[in-house]
Every structure is written in structure tokens, then in C-alpha cells.
């Protein structure tokens, strides 16, 4: 009998953790994923710019450049294979003055050296032909046709569901408190007990330095970098068709203006280094900064159509690059640390790299029965009248609309609950089918969604949470 509970334990259920778990599930390995929250995509991966970066701004020769380009090239194929939303809409980097042209040309050259295809330097007039709402102050710009937008929830959940289908065990609401080296392998002490694994993948976001430093003498340090955003209603979603960046500065790519794959308009983020790894509160100065800077790039932004604001944390490591692979003094412990932008783009490539490295080390062979594909939840609102009628005939629950803003049916919500790694909270449903993400921000659909959750899961109404334990929506019932 093996002294290990698992061959591989993945810490963290964000985009990188889910992508790594999915790639690992190709091999004949016993794998678990440990996530402190109640669902995947509950940390850094749920609050970002949702951008598939082209790869022109990462430093030549860096891991960011390598995995960005590889991940970008994988995204379209994966979106079809695993049925998540992705649009290659292209991106524009705006330059506002002639004296900044050297910086723009440097960005272009960096992209060429990184292997980015199709890059073009355009005049301000050429950019305004492409995007009529771009500011008249724009002097020139960099066009990257391989840039795109993706749903970060859709990507992460698709990867996780496929990993689950292929045998990965997901252990939610289980926080890793301590990691210890053993003579062989590692002991992980969690909020639910002890887990022993031959190999560990450290994909813990802003906490990746904590786990790394428990097993390696070569210490790393991650600073949470907060980014605040404004999200506008779909009426503003067609203001621009490309993702609009400003020339990068010291703290990143600046404030962007971008359509989302669901038709909204996204503004942000700010970039403020903080100490608290849990502080995702928005601030008045931060949102004011987003509004001011986005108006520099794009005119006539309909700010009155803002439906919500949010903030996310990026894991900025002091070395300003990804940390991928085994530390010299911690064999079998595989880092995926410092995963900030372009981390979402890079996640599939990072996952593939780590899985191959672990499989090679373990001598694991690929499964013959690996399931390569996954089908997402039918989106009633996007179906033709004929397709919708057929679906409703097969399952009448698809004919009852619960979320009016996003036109989400009862059938979609039930599917979100019943599928692999089904939703157990209101946010879990929201991330899977967008119920509550529309103009009213769950103001009308919450009571009925809670009734469906209670009916389908058996969770008493007073125990239904918004997300993590302790976020119950009700205090009791009569």
C-alpha cells in the first residue's frame, strides 16, 4: 500500500491550478486539488481584465513572454474543445504624443522579438477609422490582431470540470495550513486533516510565496497588487470593438477599455500595491482614477450605465516574472508563483508545462481513456427560436426565465447545480450561467435562485451562502 494519499496535490483552484489539474488528468496519476473556498475561480482568477494578451509587452526571454505566447496560441482551440467563450477581437495600444513614439516602437520591437504575429504601427487617423470613439488626442498606436477576450469564469470552470471528469478529486473549503518536506514527497496539513503527496503544485495566487517559503530556503516575496474596475451595461458594450490599452507604465499596462465576451464594457484596472492579501474592497479614489484615465483613451463613455465595480489582486513577485518549476532545494515541489498579468493568457501553457514535467518525473503514462472535450451549459438567450423550442420540449425548465436581465432560465440554473463540480452557492451559479450579473445585479432573481438551490441540493434556505461559509443570505426562517 502506498504511503501517499495522492501522486499529485494541486494547491489552488484558480485558472493555473485548474489548467494544471486538467493537463495532469491526461496521465495515469492519482490527483487532488485543494481549494480553501467553496468553488474554483474564487480568487485572483475571478476579478481580472479577462484579456488574452498578444504578448508584445513581456520582457524578451522572460517566462512571461514564453508562456504568454504559447497560451495565446492555445486559446482558440481550447475554447472549442471545452466550450467556453473566447473572441479574438485584437488590441490597440494608444500613444498620445509624438515624443512617446520611441516607447511605442520599442513595444513593437519587443513584440516582434517575442514572436507575436501581425503587429502593426498605425497613425492616429488609421486607429480612428477602426474605432470611431477613440480620442482625438491619439497620435499613433500599436495594433495586435492576435489579442483577444475570454470569460475567466468560463475558462477556469471548463478546465476544472474536464479535470473532474477525468478523475481529479476536488476538495473544496479545505485550506492548506502548512506544507512539510518528508524523506520523499510532502505532507500538507489542511483545515480538514493531513494529505501526503509525492508531488505538489503550488498555484496559490497571492499566497504562493507562503507555501514556497515553507519548503525552500530560497525565499520569494509576493505583493498583492490591487486593480479596481468598473463594469458597464450591455448598452455600452459596442462603444469599442477592440481592447484599448494605453502605453505601459511602471505598474503595468494602464487603464484599459474593452468589450467583454458577454457584451458589456469593462474599464480598469488601477495598480496599487497593498499588504493585505484579502483586501478586494473598491475605493472612491481608485474608481475615480479608472473613470478619469479611461476617458483619455475613449470619448463618450456612458458612465451612467455602470452596473457594478469590483477589485481583484494580482500576485506580483519581487523578481517581476513568473516562477515556474522546482526550486533547487525542494525537489517534487512545483511552483506556479508570481502569476500576474498575463497570467490568465499563460495559464493553459503553464498547466501543460507543469503536467509534462511531473509526468516525466513520475514516469506516468498517458491514459488511453482521457476525455478531451467538455460541453458547456446551453445558453437559451443565444439560441434560435427553433433551437429554443426543441430544448424546452425536451426540458420545460428551459422555458422559465429566472434572471430577466441576462435571460437565464431555470434549466440553466439547474444544469449549473447538477453538472460536475456543480454550484453550491449563489456566486457559483452566477459564475456558471451569469444569473445575477446583469443590470439589476441579482436584485430580482436572488429569491427564486435560492429556492432552486434549496430544492436541487437539499441545502436549507438559511444555510445558502453567497460564496464562502459565513456569507449566508438569511438569518433563519419562520
Retrieve residue 291's grid coordinates.
Answer: 473613470
Strand pairing class (176-181; 186-190): antiparallel
C-alpha span between 429 and 417 (Å, rounded): 7
Q: What angle do CA 56, 19, 219 make, to 5 degrees?
A: 75
Identified catalytic residue from 53, 212, 242, 316: 53
C-alpha span between 393 and 154 (Å, rounded): 27
Phi, psi values for residue 198, rounded to 5°: -70, -40
The candidate with the shortest Cα–Cα distance to 72, out of 54, 99, 94, 51, is: 54
The candidate with the shortest Cα–Cα distance to 79, out of 375, 440, 350, 368, is: 375
Residue 53 designated active-site: yes
Kindly list the catalytic residues.
53
Amino acid at each position: 500500500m502506498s504511503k501517499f494519499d495522492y501522486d499529485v496535490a494541486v494547491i489552488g483552484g484558480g485558472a493555473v491550478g485548474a489548467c494544471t489539474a486538467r493537463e495532469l488528468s491526461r496521465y495515469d496519476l492519482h490527483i487532488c486539488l485543494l481549494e480553501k473556498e467553496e468553488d474554483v475561480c474564487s480568487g485572483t482568477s475571478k476579478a481580472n481584465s479577462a484579456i488574452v494578451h498578444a504578448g508584445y509587452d513581456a520582457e524578451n526571454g522572460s517566462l512571461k513572454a514564453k508562456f504568454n505566447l504559447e497560451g495565446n496560441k492555445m486559446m482558440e482551440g481550447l475554447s472549442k474543445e471545452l466550450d467556453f467563450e473566447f473572441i479574438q477581437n485584437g488590441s490597440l495600444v494608444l500613444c498620445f504624443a509624438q515624443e512617446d513614439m520611441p516607447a511605442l516602437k520599442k513595444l513593437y520591437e519587443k513584440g516582434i522579438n517575442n514572436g507575436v504575429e501581425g503587429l502593426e504601427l498605425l497613425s492616429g487617423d488609421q486607429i480612428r477609422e477602426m474605432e470611431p470613439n477613440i480620442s482625438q488626442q491619439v497620435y499613433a498606436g500599436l495594433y495586435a490582431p492576435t489579442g483577444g477576450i475570454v470569460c475567466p469564469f468560463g475558462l477556469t470552470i471548463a478546465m476544472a470540470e474536464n479535470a473532474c471528469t477525468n478523475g481529479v478529486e476536488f476538495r473544496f473549503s479545505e485550506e492548506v495550513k502548512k506544507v512539510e518536506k518528508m524523506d520523499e514527497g510532502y505532507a500538507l496539513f489542511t483545515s480538514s486533516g493531513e494529505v501526503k503527496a509525492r508531488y505538489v503544485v503550488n498555484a496559490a495566487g497571492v499566497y504562493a510565496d507562503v507555501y514556497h517559503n515553507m519548503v525552500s530556503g530560497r525565499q520569494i516575496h509576493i505583493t498583492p497588487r490591487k486593480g479596481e474596475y468598473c463594469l458597464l451595461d450591455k448598452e455600452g458594450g459596442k462603444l469599442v470593438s477592440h481592447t484599448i490599452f494605453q502605453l505601459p507604465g511602471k505598474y503595468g499596462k494602464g487603464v484599459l477599455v474593452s468589450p467583454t465576451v458577454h457584451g458589456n464594457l469593462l474599464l480598469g484596472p488601477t495598480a496599487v500595491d497593498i499588504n493585505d492579501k484579502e483586501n478586494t474592497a473598491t475605493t472612491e479614489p481608485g474608481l475615480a482614477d479608472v473613470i478619469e484615465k479611461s476617458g483619455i483613451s475613449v470619448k463618450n463613455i456612458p458612465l451612467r450605465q455602470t452596473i457594478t465595480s469590483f477589485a481583484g489582486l494580482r500576485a506580483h513577485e519581487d523578481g517581476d516574472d513568473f516562477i515556474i518549476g522546482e526550486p533547487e532545494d525542494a525537489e517534487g515541489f512545483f511552483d506556479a508563483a508570481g502569476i500576474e498579468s498575463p497570467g490568465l493568457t499563460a495559464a493553459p501553457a503553464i498547466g501543460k508545462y507543469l503536467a509534462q514535467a511531473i509526468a516525466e518525473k513520475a514516469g506516468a503514462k498517458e491514459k488511453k481513456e482521457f476525455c478531451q472535450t467538455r460541453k458547456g451549459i446551453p445558453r437559451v438567450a443565444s439560441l434560435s427560436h427553433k433551437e429554443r423550442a426543441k430544448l424546452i420540449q425536451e426540458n420545460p425548465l428551459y422555458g422559465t426565465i429566472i434572471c430577466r436581465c441576462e435571460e437565464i432560465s431555470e434549466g440553466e440554473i439547474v444544469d449549473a447545480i447538477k453538472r460536475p463540480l456543480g454550484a453550491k452557492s449563489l456566486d457559483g451559479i452566477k459564475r456558471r450561467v451569469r444569473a445575477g450579473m446583469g443590470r439589476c445585479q441579482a436584485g430580482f432573481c436572488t429569491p427564486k435562485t435560492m429556492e432552486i438551490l434549496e430544492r436541487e441540493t437539499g441545502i436549507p434556505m438559511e444555510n445558502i451562502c453567497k460564496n464562502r461559509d459565513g456569507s449566508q443570505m438569511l438569518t433563519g426562517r419562520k
